[in-house]
Chains A and B, each alone.
Chain A
Amino acid sequence: MKKSAFLGALTVASIAASAAVAQDASTVDQIKERGKLNCGVTTGLVGFAAPDANGQWNGFDVGVCRAVAAAVLGDANAVEFVPTTGKTRFTALASGEIDMLARNTTWTFSRDVDLKFEFVGVNYYDGQGFMVAKDLGATSAKELDGATVCIQTGTTTELNLADFFRANDMSYEPVPIETNAEAQQQYLAGACDVYTTDASGLAATRATFEDPSAHVLLPEIISKEPLGPLVRHGDNEWGDIVRWTLNALIAAEELGVTSANIGELGASAGANPEINRLLGTEGTLGEMLGLDAEWAKRAIMAGGNYGELFAKNIGEDTPIALARGLNAQWTEGGLLYAPPFR
Chain B
Amino acid sequence: MYHMTSMTDPHRGQFRLSMLFNDTRYRSLTYQAIAAIVLALAIWYLGNNLLQNLRTAGLNISFGFLGDPAGYDISQRLVEYDSQSSHSRAAIVGILNTLLVSFLACVTATIFGVVAGVLRLSNNWLVSKLMSVYVEIFRNIPVLIWIIIIFTIMTAVMPAPRAFRGDTPEATMLLDMFAFTNRGVYTPGPYFTSPFFANPFLNWVLVLAVLAGSLFATRRVAHWATGVQEQSGVRPTTWYFTLGLWVVPVGLLLLVMGLAWEIPELKGFNFKGGIKVGGALIALWFALSIYTGAFIAENVRAGIQAISKGQTEAAGALGLRPRRTMNLVVLPQALRVIIPPLISHYLNITKNSSLAIAVGYADVTATLGGITLNQTGRAIECVLLLMAFYLTISLLISVGMNFYNKSVKLKER
Least CB separation from B56: chain A residue = A20
Chain B at the A interface: SS class: helix
**A190 to B, closest residue via Cβ:** B160
Cβ of B373 under 8 Å from chain A? yes
Selected interface stretch from B17-25, B100-108, B379-387: B379-387
Residues of B within 8 A of A190 (CB): 155, 160, 162-163, 182
With a cutoff of 8 Å between Cβ atoms, the chain A residues found around residue B75 in the complex are 173-175
Annotate B342-365 by CB proximity to A: 1 below 8 A, 0 otherwise: 000000000000110100101001
In the complex, whether A315 has a CB less than 8 A from a CB of chain B is no
- Pair A116/B49 contact, Cβ less than 8 Å: no
Q: Assess whether B72 is interfacial by the CB under 8 Å rule.
A: yes
* Chain A residues, CB < 8 A from B54: 15
Query: Closest residue of chain B to A14, judged by CB?
Result: B53
- Residue-wise interface mask of B (53-68) relative to A, using a CB-CB cutoff of 8 A (1 in contact, 0 not): 1101111000000000
**In the complex, chain A residues whose CB is within 8 Å of the CB of B160:** 189-191
Query: Is B379 a contact partner of A12 (Cβ separation < 8 A)?
Result: yes
Q: How far is the CA of A177 from the CA of B373 in the complex (A)?
A: 16
- Which chain B residue shows the least CB distance to A7? B379
Q: Is the CB of B269 within 8 A of A148?
A: yes
Question: In the complex where A12-B50, A23-B56 touch, is A176 in contact with B360 (Cβ < 8 A)?
Answer: yes
Residue of chain B at shortest CB distance from A11: B379
Q: How far is the CB of B368 from chain A (nearest CB, A)?
A: 10
A189 neighbours in B (Cβ, 8 Å): 155-156, 160, 182
Q: Which of B72, B152, B355, B360 contacts A162 (CB 8 A)?
A: B72
Instruction: For the complex, give the distance between the alpha carbons of A68 and B366 in Å.
Output: 35
Please give, as numbers and ranges, the residues of chain A lying within 8 Å of B376 by CB-CB distance: 114
Chain B proximity of A199: nearest CB distance (Å): 20
- Taken together as a complex, chains A and B put the C-alpha atoms of A11 and B382 apart, in Å, by 13
Q: Is the CB of A15 within 8 A of B360?
A: no
Residues of B within 8 A of A185 (CB): 152
**Taking the nearest CB of chain B, how far is it from the CB of A201, in angstroms?**
18
Per-residue CB contact flags for chain A residues 172-192 toward chain B (1 = under 8 Å, else 0) read: 111111100000011001111
Give the one of A5, A18, A175 with max B CB within 10 A: A5
Contact B369 A15 (CB under 8 A): no
Is B52 a contact of A147 with CB atoms below 8 Å? no
Query: Are A8 and B377 closer than 8 Å at their CB atoms?
Result: no
- Asked if B82 lies at the interface with its beta carbon under 8 angstroms from chain A, I say yes
Q: What residues on A are CB-neighbors of B58 within 8 Å?
A: 116, 233
Please name all residues of chain B whose beta carbon is closer than 8 Å to the beta carbon of A161 when the two chains form the complex.
73
A4:B53 contact, CB within 8 angstroms: no
Question: How far apart are B176's CB and chain A's nearest CB, in angstroms?
Answer: 21
Residue contact A159 to B71, C-beta cutoff 8 Å: yes
Q: Tell me which of A110, A154, A161, A190 has the highest count of chain B C-beta atoms within 10 A of its own C-beta.
A: A190
Q: Does A17 contact B (CB under 8 A)?
A: yes
Cβ < 8 Å to A, chain B residues 374-410: 374-377, 379-380, 382-383, 386
A29 near B: Cβ within 8 Å? no
Complex-state Cα separation, A19 to B269, whole angstroms: 55
Find out whether the CB atom of B374 lies under 8 angstroms from the CB atom of A16. Answer: no
B195 proximity list for chain A (CB < 8 A): none
A342 within 8 A of B: no
Q: How close is B265's CB to chain A, nearest CB, in angstroms?
A: 12
> CB-CB < 8 A to A16: which residues of B?
46-47, 49-50, 53
Q: A116-B57, A148-B183, A162-B72 are in contact. Are A4 and B370 (CB under 8 A)?
A: yes
**Interface presence of B83 (CB below 8 A):** yes
Contact with B along A196-237 (1 / 0, CB 8 A): 000000000000000000000000000000000000011000
- A327 contacts the other chain (CB 8 A): no
Q: Chain B 263-289 against A: per-residue CB contact (8 Å), 1 yes, 0 no?
A: 000011110100000010000000000
**B71 contacts A162, C-beta separation under 8 Å:** yes
Min CB distance, B182 to chain A, in Å?
Answer: 5
Q: Which residues of A contact B360 (CB under 8 A)?
A: 175-177
Q: B interface, how many residues as a size bin?
A: 35 or more
Task: Pick the contact of B371: A23, A146, A176 (CB < 8 A).
Answer: A176
Which residues of chain B are within 8 angstroms of A18 by Cβ–Cβ distance? 49, 53
Chain A residue contacts of B72, Cβ below 8 A: 158-159, 162, 174
Q: Do the beta carbons of A1 and B354 come within 8 Å of each other?
A: yes
Q: Does chain B have a CB within 8 A of A310? A: no
- Contacts known (A8-B380, A91-B379, A153-B371); A19 close to B49, Cβ less than 8 A: yes
Verify if A193 is at the interface (C-beta below 8 Å from B).
yes
Closest to A85 in B: B374
Q: Which residues of B contact A176 (CB under 8 A)?
A: 357, 360, 362, 366, 370-371
B375 lies within 8 A of A5 (CB): no
Q: Nearest-CB distance from A339 to chain B (Å)?
A: 27
Interface status of B74 (Cβ within 8 A of chain A): yes
Which single member of B53, B155, B272, B373 contacts A20 (CB below 8 Å)?
Answer: B53
Residues on the A chain within 8 Å of B49, using CB: 15-19
Q: CB distance B386 to A5 under 8 Å?
A: yes
| Docked complex Cα distance between A238 and B160 (Å) | 50
Asked if A87 is at the interface of the complex by the 8 Å CB criterion, the answer is yes
Q: CB-CB < 8 A to A166: which residues of B? A: 82-84
Query: In whole angstroms, what is the CA distance A223 to B349 when docked?
Result: 40
A227 to B366, CA, bound (A): 25
Interface string of A79-104 (1 = CB under 8 A from B): 00000001100110010000000000
CA distance in complex: A18, B56 (Å): 12
In the bound complex, residues from chain B placing their C-beta under 8 Å from that of A287 are none
Q: Contact check: which of A115, A159, A191 meets B155 at CB < 8 Å? A: A191
Contact flag A87-B83 (CB < 8 Å), given A11-B379, A16-B46: no
A34 contacts partner chain B, Cβ-Cβ < 8 Å: no
B82 touches A153 (CB 8 A): no
Q: Which residues on the B side are within 8 Å of A289 (C-beta)? A: none
- Of B59, B162, B383, chain A has the most CB atoms within 10 Å of the CB of B383
Q: How far is the CA of A218 from the CA of B314 in the complex (A)?
A: 76
13 of the cross-chain contacts (CB-CB < 8 Å) are A4-B374, A5-B373, A9-B383, A23-B56, A114-B377, A147-B268, A147-B269, A153-B371, A154-B370, A173-B183, A174-B72, A176-B366, A176-B371
Q: What residues of chain B have their CB less than 8 Å away from a CB belonging to chain A?
A: 46-47, 49-50, 52-54, 56-59, 71-75, 82-84, 152, 155-156, 160, 162-163, 182-183, 267-270, 272, 279, 354-355, 357, 360, 362, 365-366, 369-371, 373-377, 379-380, 382-383, 386
* In the A-B complex, the 6 residue pairs with the closest CB atoms: A190-B160, A162-B83, A8-B379, A154-B374, A16-B50, A115-B377
